[in-house]
Structure formats: structure tokens, C-alpha cells
Amino acid sequence: MQIIPAIDIIDGKCVRLTQGDYGQKTIYNENPLEVAKTFEAAGLQRLHLVDLDGAKAGSVKNWKVLESIAANTSLVIDFGGGIKQEADLNIVFNSGAALATIGSLAVKNETLFVQWLHRFGADKFLLGADVKGEKIAVGGWLETTDIDIYDFISKYINHGIQQLFCTDVSKDGKLEGPSTILYTNIITRFPELHFIASGGVSSIGDLQELERMGCGGVIVGKAIYENRISLDELKVF
């Protein structure tokens, strides 16, 4: 199982939100490159980079942070937040992202996203699904749709998607443990999917449980920044 540390960016700084609430923001480091280098030095190979300013504005904002980390580390970076137009997508790839992370767009503009999958290759995208009660949530989690998570995954697997991360929005940023029942159901139904768990990880025990369940990867953010999990502990994975 691959450990994928998360760096969330506001105003060029490394922050974390609780349950997507911009009012509940903690700044952890003024220099995201420094944080990324720490992850690389610990032997981690991937990075989940989220442009929170971009997500709010609807267009990519913190691409300079992406460019800096891509140029100065060998981390495989997936970058998301504000990718709504092809111009944004080109900025993300040209700035060094290996994967573009797409969430709300896959719900709200399926036609455009499917065009991108065919034009750029489905292997260039990491699909993100925010879930509330097995239904897809969008718009910073404020809006719950009537789209079933399993139907959503099935549709995009048919379009070639290979990697997906799923966040149970009731768990994210709360350090209360991951949504193991939901994740087990997804892994059982879609064994071919490279499934990445996200949200709620609070201890090394959570990571061990996710590995036993068959997760291909797990995104870890707040637990690292709050020193619930040390980088040394992550070396066993």
C-alpha cells in the first residue's frame, strides 16, 4: 500500500482545513517545498497537492507551488483544485503534475471530463469522490447529490479510470478513523480499481487496517501534521 501525504495550499502556504471549512484553517508551514522535501527524505514517493484557493475560485491559482515541488523533488504529484477548463489542465501538466485530480467536474460536466480522458489518456487522471451516506457530495461538500457512489465509479471505470480516491466527508480532518465499511464495499465491488482511501486516518493502526482491507494507497494529511503518525512509522509500508 502506498502512503500519499497531502499538502493543501492557501496563499502559497501549507494548511489543513477541518471538513472543508475555510473558517477552520490551520497553517502548518509557510514553505510547501520544505514540507515536500521532508516527505521525500522519509522515502515517500507520491504527493497529493491540493490548491484550495483554486478550488474556491474555480481556476488554478497555486501552480507556482506545484512547479517548485516538481522541479526540486522526484515525487509523483497529483494536483487538484480549480481544474475546470482545458487551460487549467494544461497549466497543471506543464507545471509538472503526473496526474490531474478531478472531483466536482466529473459530476457536473461529465461530457468535458470524458473528452479529457480520451484526449489525454485516463492514466493521467486521479478521480476524487467525496461521499456522504454513499451519495456523491460536491461544491465543497455543501451539496449532496442523488448519485450513488457505486454507479459513479462504474461509469468512469468504463471510461478507463484506473485510480480513485474516496473521502467520507463526515470523517475528513477529524482524526476519528477512516470509513472502513464504505471502503471495503468499494474494493469488493471493483477489485480492478487502484483504490485510495482518504479522510479520518488518525494512527498507524488505521493504516494497517486499510492495508489489510486491500487499499492500493491512502492519503494522509492531518495525522502527520498533528504528529499522530511519524514519518519514521510510515517507512514500514
Query: Among residues 53, 130, 168, 172, which one is catalytic?
Result: 130
Q: Are 170 and 18 in contact (CB under 8 A)?
A: no
Q: How many Å apart are CA 32 and CA 10, to the nearest integer?
A: 10
Residue 8 CB partners (closer than 8 Å, separation 6+): 14, 15, 16, 17, 50, 52, 221
138-173 burial code (b ≥16 CB/10 A, e <16): bebbeebeebebeebbeebbeeebebbbbbbbbbbb
Provide the Cα torsion 169, 171, 174, 180; round to 10°: -150
Query: Among residues 8, 51, 88, 172, which one is catalytic?
Result: 8
Determine whether 8 is an active site residue: yes
Determine whether 151 is an active site residue: no
What residues act catalytically? 8, 130
